[in-house]
Amino acid sequence: MVLFRQKYPRWWFDFNLEATKFSTRAGAYLLLLTDEYPSTDEEQSIHLTLDYPAQGELNRWLPLIKWILAIPHYIVLSVLLTVEIVLVLIGWVVILITPKTTRRNP
């Protein structure tokens, strides 16, 4: 819509914002950053705010240029994502096989 009409509808921005909020909460839960199960309608311990772009700030061809410039970034991210997945799996296994210790009062 930015490319053809040079405007970003408010309803599309709100939808993308809510989808990003939920994916952030779900990602934090999967990466063991929080113990709360992610809610689809409530804000929890993870907060995200994005500003709605002003009408004059949108450039028609800038999204296409940004996609071309993002290719090296995606290559580096794919390598880092692979390392992250391996480390999270190791963390899950360590949590599963580590015995639970109880605190003893002195």
- pLDDT score of 87: 94
Interval 52-94: pLDDT, tens: 877 666 677 777 888 899 999 999 999 999 999 999 999 889 8
Q: Are 17 and 50 in contact (CB under 8 A)?
A: yes
pLDDT beyond 80 at 101: no
Write out the DSSP string of 35-55. -SPPPSSS--S-----PPPPG
Say which DSSP state 34 is in. -
- Taking the domains of the chain in order of start, what are their residue ranges? 2-97
- pTM, full prediction: 0.57
How many other CB atoms sit within 10 Å of the CB of residue 25?
A: 24
